[in-house]
């Protein structure tokens, strides 16, 4: 049987062994993002709002999570507030962990808002596999 040839960066990204905290309040977006991450080997912890993401991160052992993906427009603490709260935690990984914002558009103002909150990058929804994985790769370099 023929095998697929990896001809772009997205196909070659390997997230095996990575623990990713995914904070998203929309069921469909959660499912899509989780599927894409798991397809590339990541283990995903789900949070349905910023407060839950903060609680999961705070309760984890330092260094447990490799990356946080967080929607910036969520009820019960939006992603920018959660990112600021995570960055302020008194633990060594809180300032260093890559946090990527997810927003419903690719507007510059969303990217600026995310960066001002201490996030490392921005992924626009609806997700495009290549774009999402390229942003992950950049954040993990």
Give residue-wise pLDDT tens across range 25-78.
989 889 988 998 898 899 999 999 999 999 999 999 999 999 999 998 888 899
Residue 98: DSSP 8-state: -
**Chain CA centroid to CA 35, Å:** 13
Task: Give the integer Cα–Cα distance in Å for 43 and 76.
Answer: 24
State phi, psi for 131 to the nearest 5 degrees.
Answer: -60, -45
State phi, psi for 96 to the nearest 5 degrees.
Answer: -95, -25
Cβ 68 vs Cβ 94: under 8 Å: no
What pLDDT does 10 receive?
Answer: 47
């Amino acid at each position: 049987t023929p095998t697929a040839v990896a001809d772009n960066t997205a196909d070659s990204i390997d997230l095996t062994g990575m623990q990713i905290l995914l904070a998203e309040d929309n069921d469909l977006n959660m499912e899509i993002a989780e599927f894409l991450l798991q397809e590339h080997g990541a283990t995903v912890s789900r949070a349905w709002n910023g407060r839950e993401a903060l609680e999961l991160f705070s309760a984890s052992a330092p260094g447990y999570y490799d990356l946080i993906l967080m929607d910036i427009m969520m009820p019960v603490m939006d992603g920018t507030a959660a990112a600021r709260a995570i960055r302020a935690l008194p633990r060594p990984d809180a300032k260093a962990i890559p946090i990527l914002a997810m927003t419903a558009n690719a507007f510059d103002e969303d990217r600026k808002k995310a960066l001002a909150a201490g996030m490392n990058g921005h992924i626009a929804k609806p997700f495009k596999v290549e774009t999402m994985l390229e942003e992950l790769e950049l954040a993990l370099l």
